[in-house]
């Protein structure tokens, strides 16, 4: 006889476990089905362990700048095994923390692979053997996504890596090719370059970090190249020829073709949704470009079945998945005041050096949508805290509707901007205007003062630039 629940969630990643917690808070009997590790890719192989690695490379980079601060040290070095071990320990701690949250909220966790098995039914197996049959009034699909593999660039785990292999190198390669310059590719490029690896980045589009504002992308490229990263944009890797312990890549642009030989390759060319093996066949669930189609309340075309997170499409961000989980559950529960997710208010962060963060429309997107824009800028070099920190490289850019004063977008590059962006995200969520931001008092001396100055600059009122 099947166990009966109000909600069953397939996938214990950020979207799934947050949805489960909110459901439990609302008094729903909830079960999570997870095939691998609680916390999903984000906690175990993505957001969290990569930040642990990047923290190590940031410190290593700063150690080589000790002289700038009047300090000195001898024999600066690192142990790759210990760097990786710390990253894995951080991931394990947080994954265990999700398990604690499940127990605290009295949420049942079933380890295994879940599959739709009829209306309101999920069958769970492990290693091909039945584990549980679950009846539920509502089924939330939160199975996430995996790295995209392109023909001829298939990862083999040894010479051609995905993000997983890139996070646990047994030794540092001397040279590395990163295919793709989105957030994942650039973060790995930044980490390995700061650890002393010769890094080449190939991007098929005409600029790095192509989803960011064009000015930010251009600034980032100059910074990366100054660090010694070789960048080829408007370029494609056509063939990988594997040697015994290296890879030769044949790269083509519209003007030329050339070969690059490196120790290792990281493929970072996007992700595809995990839609296979979860019983979508014969249901009303629609799949487009490997992602499940869902409406503003995360409902699929099959009654009682919902989809959240990476499975439901871009932007592929853990915080987007978490908010979708809450919205989905609260709508199911009939909570008053639930609002659909506004994609314009989702911040994006890239933890390279220098960091990049943004929210809302780029300048080009705003102009393309017909806005008469007012643009503000403020450079890190004009900020006292940035200079004191030894971090004078960066910029804050704001985009306003010239008619209404609405903050349309904000774009930042430089030290700690991934922490600063939330100020603009809050302003956008509250529909704050330029006059309200101008009247807001920012503490001194802080990096956040640049956010104020950028707003002032958009209206010709910058005080320190």
Active-site residue set: 444
Q: How many other β-carbons are positioned within 10 Å of the β-carbon of residue 262? A: 22
First to last CA, the chain: 71
The answer to whether the bond into 445 is cis (omega within 30° of 0) is yes
Please say whether the beta carbons of 378 and 465 come within 8 A.
yes
The answer to whether the bond into 162 is cis (omega within 30° of 0) is no
Complete DSSP assignment for 53-74: HHHHHHHHHHHTTGGGGT---S
CA torsion sign for 359, 363, 367, 370 is positive
Q: Residue 19's closest CA among 327, 294, 263, 267?
A: 327
The helix or strand, by DSSP H or E, that contains position 4, with its residue range, turns out to be strand 3-10
Please return the burial class of 281, using the count of CB atoms within 10 Å of its CB with bins 0-12, 13-18 and 19+.
exposed
Residue with tokens 């370059």: 193
């Amino acid at each position: 006889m099947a166990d009966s629940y109000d909600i069953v969630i397939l996938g214990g990643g950020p979207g799934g476990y947050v949805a489960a917690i909110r459901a439990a808070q609302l008094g729903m009997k909830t079960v999570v089905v997870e095939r691998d590790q609680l916390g999903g890719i984000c906690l175990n192989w993505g957001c969290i362990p990569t930040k642990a690695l990047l923290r190590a490379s940031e410190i290593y980079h700063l150690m080589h700048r000790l002289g700038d601060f009047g300090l000195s040290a001898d024999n600066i070095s690192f142990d790759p095994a210990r760097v990786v071990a710390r990253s894995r320990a951080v991931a394990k701690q947080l994954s265990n923390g999700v398990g604690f949250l499940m127990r605290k909220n009295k949420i049942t966790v079933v380890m295994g692979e879940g599959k739709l098995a009829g209306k309101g039914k999920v069958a769970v197996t492990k290693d091909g053997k039945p584990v549980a049959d679950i009846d539920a009034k509502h089924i939330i699909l939160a199975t996430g996504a995996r790295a995209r593999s392109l023909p001829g660039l298939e990862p083999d785990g040894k010479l051609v890596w995905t993000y997983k292999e890139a996070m646990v190198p047994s030794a540092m390669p001397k040279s590395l090719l990163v295919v793709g310059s989105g957030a994942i590719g650039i973060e790995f490029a930044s980490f390995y370059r700061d650890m002393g690896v010769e890094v080449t980045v190939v991007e098929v589009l005409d600029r790095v970090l192509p989803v960011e504002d064009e000015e930010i992308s251009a600034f980032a490229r100059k910074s990366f190249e100054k660090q010694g990263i070789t960048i080829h944009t408007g370029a494609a890797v056509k063939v990988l020829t594997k040697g015994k312990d290296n890879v030769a890549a044949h790269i083509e642009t519209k003007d030329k073709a050339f070969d690059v030989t490196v120790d290792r390759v990281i493929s970072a060319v996007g992700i595809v949704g995990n839609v296979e093996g979860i019983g979508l066949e014969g249901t009303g669930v629609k799949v487009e470009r490997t992602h499940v189609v869902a409406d503003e309340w995360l409902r699929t075309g099959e009654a009682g079945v919902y989809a959240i997170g990476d499975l439901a499409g871009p932007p592929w961000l853990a915080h987007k998945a978490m908010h979708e989980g809450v919205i989905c559950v609260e709508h199911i529960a009939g909570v008053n005041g639930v609002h659909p997710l506004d994609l314009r208010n989702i911040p994006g962060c890239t933890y390279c050096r220098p960091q990049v963060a943004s929210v809302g429309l780029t300048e080009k997107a705003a102009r393309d949508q017909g806005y008469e824009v007012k643009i503000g800028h403020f450079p890190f070099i004009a900020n006292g805290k940035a200079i004191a920190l030894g971090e004078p490289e960066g910029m804050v850019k704001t985009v306003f509707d010239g008619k209404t004063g609405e903050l349309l977008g904000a774009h930042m590059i430089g030290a700690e901007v991934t922490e600063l962006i939330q100020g603009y995200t809050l302003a956008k969520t509250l529909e704050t205007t330029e006059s309200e931001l101008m009247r807001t008092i920012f503490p001194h001396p802080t990096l956040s003062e640049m956010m104020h100055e950028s707003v002032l600059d958009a209206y010709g009122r910058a005080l320190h630039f």
